[in-house]
């Protein structure tokens, strides 16, 4: 079992962006806006969400705004990876956004559908577990039974990563909110 | 362009992915039919979730790496390469191998976790998307040779999906910004491939989880572009895109009173039909937007 220390997500994200390979990549941005021009969500939201502003805020240590206030909201990224491909400076937008999302998740700022999906994996080993009606359909189609997996092993592995704690904390917060 | 050498291996571990296995299994049926015709043997393995490069990776990168490596370790043990039926699963499995090859610290941590449950990971499992395997290893000529009933005259647009070829550094397949393999396969089956303005636009399945309004707006652009192109079918190679583009047609009616009625079909379904499968064999009645009437007009039974 790895030791889980209590980490401040803002500080941790700040460290990820400082004196690291990713931090160097982040520093390469000179604001050319290629990412925001190609981003479909920037187009649809008329720039309210755009990758450039997120990179800019990350570059100027606005980690708190990114993960506490979600302003701009990183979860509006549709993960199409167009910005990652087209950035002329080779800024690793893929990984920078990922770090912001993970930090937001440990700050409990994550859309419900993401944590419910991860929780399904924790409980059943799969994001979409097998269900009797589909098992029957598979049989009708002449398909073999949906292969099972070792759920306990998956649960054990997830217990060695930060995710178990994140899921539990979010679950507790939801229960508290319901009681109120 | 793929970096993997063309291989003569005919035994693959099938990574169908949990969406196909446990929600829309008729897609798996068509894939198994096609692989059998192509002379391949698919093996089942006791994989868990890939896990999803959107939901799980965004929640916790370490979980994503560890569970991805567990699946890859299962195939290292069975000594088969993996063929995946899903863009997302393909991305996870390729990207986990890529990341663990380049990040020593993560490699050591993942290896240690896996060893504690009795598994070993070396990073040797080859992973291919089925489109990549068809196009690169089998080849268009060999596919063409199996066609008994071509898709002559059918106008088909492709939606390839983002995670098939991007990030290109990890995926190493096709032209990352303008993927052509699915279209070339459909042309080999006799179809007329229809290009459209918004071919590269994301299905917005990830965006819909946080911003339904923006997702609907983008989907409207996509559908309008497909309608304007005159395509009769949207061909896909990812179960998330499949669901999003099928369910989205109903959403368009609700959100914009926009009528969209274009069947969405998996590339393997279209292949299976040309290789001699019947509409019934591969469960096409299970689609939400039924392609059956259209296919009958083109002589498919």
Mean predicted confidence (pLDDT) in A145-158 = 97
Domain spans, chain B: 11-130, 140-297
Closest CA to B178 of B203, B200, B198, B211: B200
Average pLDDT, integer, range B111-134? 98
Q: Alpha helix (H) ranges present in B60-195?
A: 61-78, 87-102, 104-116, 130-132, 140-145, 162-165, 168-171, 181-188
Q: How much is the pLDDT for A131?
A: 95
Question: What count of residues does chain A have?
Answer: 180
Of A153 and A180, the structure prediction assigns the larger pLDDT to A153
Burial class (CB in 10 A: 0-12, 13-18, 19+), B190: middle
Interface contact flag, A154 B55, Cβ < 8 Å: no
Q: How far apart are CA B206 and CA B216, in angstroms?
A: 12
What is the C-alpha end-to-end distance of chain B, expressed in Å? 37
The pLDDT tens digits for A163-176 are: 999 999 999 999 99
Domains in chain A: boundaries: 9-106, 112-179
Class of domain B11-130 as given by CATH? mainly alpha
Matching residue, tokens 């983008």: B218
The Cα–Cα gap between B37 and B268 comes to 12
Asked if the bond preceding B149 is cis, omega within 30° of 0, the reply is no
- Spatial separation of the C-alpha atoms in residues B207 and B204, rounded to whole Å: 5
Cα–Cα distance measured from residue B24 to residue B153, given in angstroms and rounded to the nearest whole number: 28
Rg for chain B, CA atoms, rounded? 19
Give the chain A residue nearest B45 (alpha carbons): A147
DSSP SS3 for A161: coil
Residue where the block lists tokens 């959403």: B251
Q: Which of B282, B195, B115 minimizes the C-alpha distance to B107? A: B115
Per-position DSSP letters for A118-135, written without gaps between them:
HHHHHHHSSSS---HHHH
Q: What is the ipTM of this complex?
A: 0.95
Q: Residue B18 is encoded by which pair of tokens?
A: 């949990």
Summarize pLDDT for A4-50 with one digit per residue, the tens: 456 799 999 999 999 999 999 999 999 999 999 999 999 999 999 99
Q: Angle CA(B167)–CA(B85)–CA(B209) in degrees, nearest 5?
A: 60
Cβ-nearest to A41 among B22, B61, B214: B214
In this predicted model, what pLDDT tens digit does every residue of A35-48 receive, in sequence order?
999 999 999 999 99
- Using a CB-CB cut-off of 8 Å, the residues of chain A touching B47 are 147, 149
Answer yes or no: do A127 and B49 touch at CB < 8 A: yes
First to last CA, chain A: 35
Q: Which of B9, B166, B12, B10 is nearest to B83 (CA)?
A: B12
The chain B residue lying nearest A144, using CA atoms, is B44
Residue with tokens 């990224």: A77
From chain B, pick out residues whose CB is under 8 angstroms from the CB of A34: none
Burial of A47 (0-12, 13-18, 19+ CB in 10 A): middle
Report CA dihedral (B200, B204, B206, B212) to the nearest 10 degrees: 160
Residue B141 confidence (pLDDT): 97
Looking at residue B6, its pLDDT comes to 60
Res B8: pLDDT: 81
Whether the per-residue pLDDT at B3 is higher than 60: the answer is no
For the record, the structure tokens of B220 come out as 């409207």
- The C-alpha torsion from A158 through A164 and A167 to A173, rounded to 10°, is 170
What is the total residue count of chain B? 301
B43 in helix, strand or coil? strand
Q: Which two tokens stand for residue B87?
A: 């863009």
- Which architecture does CATH list for B140-297? 3-Layer(aba) Sandwich (3.40)
Give the per-residue pLDDT at A7.
74
Band (pLDDT 50/70/90 cuts) for residue A1 is: very low
Q: How far apart are CA A119 and CA B265, in angstroms?
A: 30
Tell me which residues of chain A, numbers 48 to 87, contact chain B at a CB-CB cutoff of 8 Å. 49, 73, 75-82, 84-86
CATH T-level topology, domain A9-106: Fumarate Reductase Iron-sulfur Protein; Chain B, domain 2 (1.10.1060)
DSSP B5: P
Backbone CA torsion sign across B27, B29, B30, B34: positive
pLDDT tens across A90-132, in order?
999 999 999 999 999 999 999 999 999 999 999 999 999 999 9
Question: Are the CB atoms for A162 and B60 separated by under 8 Å?
Answer: yes
Q: Which of B267, B162, B264 shows the shortest CA–CA distance to B218?
A: B162
Element (H, E) at B56: helix B55-59
Token pair of B130 as six digits: 């089925």
The 3-state DSSP class for residue A20 equals: coil
Q: Which residues of A touch B58 (CB under 8 A)?
A: 98, 101-102, 105, 110, 114
Please give the residue of chain B at the shortest CA–CA distance from A70: B210
Question: In this predicted structure, what is the pLDDT of residue A180?
Answer: 83
**What is the average pLDDT across B89-98?**
98
Residues B221-279: pLDDT tens digits?
999 999 999 999 999 999 999 999 999 999 999 999 999 999 999 999 999 999 999 99
List the one residue out of A56, A66, A128, A125 whose CA is nearest residue A98.
Answer: A66
Q: For the segment B53-88, what is each residue's pLDDT rounded down to a tens digit?
A: 999 999 999 999 999 999 999 999 999 999 999 999
Testing the interface with B: which of A47, A66, A71, A79 to mutate, by most B Cβ within 10 A? A79
A81, A154, A156 ranked by CB distance to B162: nearest: A81
Confidence of residue A3 (pLDDT cuts 50, 70, 90): very low
């Amino acid at each position: 079992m790895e030791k889980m220390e209590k980490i401040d997500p803002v500080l941790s994200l700040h460290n990820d962006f400082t004196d690291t390979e990713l931090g160097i990549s982040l520093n390469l941005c000179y604001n050319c806006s290629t990412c925001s021009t190609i981003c479909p969500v920037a187009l649809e939201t008329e720039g309210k969400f755009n990758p450039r502003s997120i990179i800019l805020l990350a570059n100027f240590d606005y980690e708190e705004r990114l993960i506490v206030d979600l302003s701009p909201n990183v979860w509006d990224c549709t993960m199409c990876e167009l910005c990652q491909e087209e950035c002329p400076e080779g800024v690793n937008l893929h990984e920078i956004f990922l770090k912001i999302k993970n930090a937001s998740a440990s700050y409990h700022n994550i859309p419900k559908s993401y944590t419910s999906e991860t929780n399904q994996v924790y409980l059943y080993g799969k994001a979409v577990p097998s269900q009797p009606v589909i098992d029957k359909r598979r049989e009708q189609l002449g398909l073999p039974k949906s292969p099972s997996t070792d759920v306990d092993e998956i649960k054990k592995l997830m217990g060695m990563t930060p995710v178990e704690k994140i899921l539990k904390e979010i679950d507790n917060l939801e229960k508290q909110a319901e009681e109120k | 362009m793929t970096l993997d050498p063309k291989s003569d291996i005919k035994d693959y571990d099938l990574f169908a992915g949990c969406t196909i296995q446990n929600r829309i299994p008729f897609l798996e049926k068509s894939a198994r039919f096609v692989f059998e015709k192509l002379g391949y043997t698919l093996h089942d393995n006791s994989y868990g979730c890939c896990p999803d490069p959107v939901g799980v990776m965004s929640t916790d990168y370490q979980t994503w790496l560890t569970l991805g490596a567990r699946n890859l370790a299962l195939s290292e043990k069975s000594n088969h390469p993996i063929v995946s039926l899903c863009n997302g699963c393909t991305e996870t499995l390729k990207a986990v191998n890529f990341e663990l090859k380049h990040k020593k610290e993560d490699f050591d941590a993942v290896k240690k976790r896996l060893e504690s449950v009795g598994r070993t990971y070396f990073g040797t499992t080859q992973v291919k998307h089925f489109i990549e395997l068809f196009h690169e290893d089998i080849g268009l000529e060999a596919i063409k040779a199996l066609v008994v009933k071509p898709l002559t005259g059918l106008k088909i647009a492709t939606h390839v999906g983002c995670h098939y070829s991007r990030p290109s550094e990890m995926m190493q397949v096709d032209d990352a910004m303008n993927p052509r393999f699915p279209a070339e396969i459909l042309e080999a089956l006799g179809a007329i491939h229809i290009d459209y303005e918004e071919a590269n636009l994301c299905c917005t399945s990830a965006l819909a989880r946080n911003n339904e309004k923006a997702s609907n707006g983008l989907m409207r652009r996509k559908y309008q572009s497909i309608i304007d192109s005159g395509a009769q079918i949207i061909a896909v190679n990812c179960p998330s895109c499949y669901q999003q583009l099928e369910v989205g047609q109903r959403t368009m009616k609700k959100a914009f009173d926009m009528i969209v009625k274009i069947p969405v079909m998996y590339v393997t379904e279209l292949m299976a039909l040309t290789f001699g499968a019947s509409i019934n064999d591969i469960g096409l009645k299970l689609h939400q937007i039924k392609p059956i009437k259209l296919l009958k007009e083109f002589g498919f039974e």
